[in-house]
Amino acid sequence: MQSISILGATGSIGVSTLDVVARHPDRYRVFALSAHSRVAELAEQCQRFRPQVAVVGSAEAAAQLQTLLRAAGLSTEVAYGPQALCDIASADGCDMVMAAIVGAAGLASTLAAARAGKKILLANKEALVISGQLLMDAVQAHGASLLPIDSEHNAIFQCLPAGYTRSMTAHGVEKILLTASGGPFLHRDVNTLDQVTVEEAVAHPKWVMGRKISVDSATMMNKGLEVIEAHWLFGAPADKIEVVIHPQSVIHSMVSYADGSVLAQLGNPDMRTPIANALAYPERIASGVAALDLAQIAQLSFLPPDYQRFPCLKLAYDALRAGGTLAAILNAANEVAVQAFLDGRIGFGKIAPLIQEVMSAIPNRQADDITALLEQDRQARDHAEALISR
């Protein structure tokens, strides 16, 4: 029996993780759950899965959760704040951690899990985007394991040889092919993107996701962040990571080998597949996802990305090639820009120019500790906010 802490339990990844866990009560139990502010939903999850600890974002939310849990007769311990997240990620009673908190907010707890030598199921791509070297060093130094949950990176993981050592040349890997759906605006007139509404941007044609990641998919910044994530996970330089638009979202990614072979992982677009793969690795368990019917799909198509339509993807490649803290600056500016768009403060077409301006304004530095990285993150956010207010 393995125990799991799920950071971001009420989000789409957290809910899918609990669905898979519930299918295997003989294998897994929930040690801890966290949510930022969705107290009622977290209380319902606690009633079903009986975690030892539940963590929320504020003292007020903790008081509300405590009241709901006691009324339900539960003795679950309630805690709040960033340190509490780190505590449940590194606790002795926890074997593995689902790191599914969106954005920079998930960085400290993911690092805590790595330093405690946990098995980390990484759904928080920003942890690697912001602090790739720091996180990978912590994983290696403390004997932790890092299994990717993003459908694309999990697909690559499945297509790489067992025992892959983050050395492409040592394993005959020629290129990593990251597939992308193209989002809701793949065929929309580029000249009309300034008129995109929030409702249009969050209506992803294939995946059910949160609002922030849905906007990232519409701009293809999500794919750009995945390029940076793939670099750290698999030791691939920027020119060995190719993005391929695949609207059907059936092939989740591919690996090209020196002998001309290309291996692909296929499946219905459902996050329970990579979650089940990572939970049980190296075994295979039921995920609840229906088997793929290739005859029904009938056709698979592929397109190269258009940087005029998706300038955020190019910005991510630029940040990866530049190194230093530019990826952290990119991520921070994007988080502020996307939230401003969701709040109606800027238009969709202003997201990429805002990010580019912040990347040009904040000096790119070398940072080898979390304090320096978070300072760069803060400066980028402050500058982005100043530009928006202007």
Question: Residues annotated as binding site for 1-deoxy-D-xylulose 5-phosphate?
Answer: 125, 151-152, 181, 204, 217, 222-223, 226
Q: Which residues are annotated as a binding site?
A: 10-13, 124-126, 150-152, 181, 204, 210, 217, 222-223, 226
Q: Which residues are annotated as a binding site for NADPH?
A: 10-13, 124, 126, 210
Give the up-direction half-sphere exposure of residue 352: CA atoms within 13 A in the CB hemisphere.
21
Residue 97, judged by CB atoms within 10 A of its CB (0-12, 13-18, 19+), counts as: buried
Helix axes 326-342, 351-361, angle to 10 degrees: 150
Nearest alpha carbon to residue 181 among 159, 149, 205: 205
Cα angle: 205, vertex 207, 213; to 5 degrees: 100
Is 5 in contact with 26 (CB distance < 8 Å)?
no
* Edge-to-edge strands, sheet with 2-7: 77-80, 53-56, 28-34, 2-7, 96-99, 119-122, 145-148
Is 69 in contact with 51 (CB distance < 8 Å)?
no
H-state helical runs in the chain:
12-22, 39-49, 59-71, 82-90, 107-115, 125-141, 151-159, 198-201, 211-219, 221-234, 272-280, 294-297, 311-322, 326-342, 351-361, 370-389
**318 Cβ neighbours under 8 A, 6+ residues apart:** 326, 359
The residue type of 379 is: Q
Residue 210, judged by CB atoms within 10 A of its CB (0-12, 13-18, 19+), counts as: middle
Query: What would the two tokens of residue 3 be?
Result: 């125990």
What Cα–Cα distance (Å) separates residue 154 from each residue in 11, 14, 271, 378? 19, 17, 10, 31
Q: How far apart are CA 375 and CA 270, in angstroms?
A: 36
Q: Which residues are annotated as a binding site for Mn(2+)?
A: 150, 152, 226
What Cα–Cα distance (Å) separates residue 180 from each residue in 126, 148, 325, 333? 18, 17, 25, 22
Query: What would the two tokens of residue 318 be?
Result: 């630029």
Q: How many residues does the chain have?
A: 390
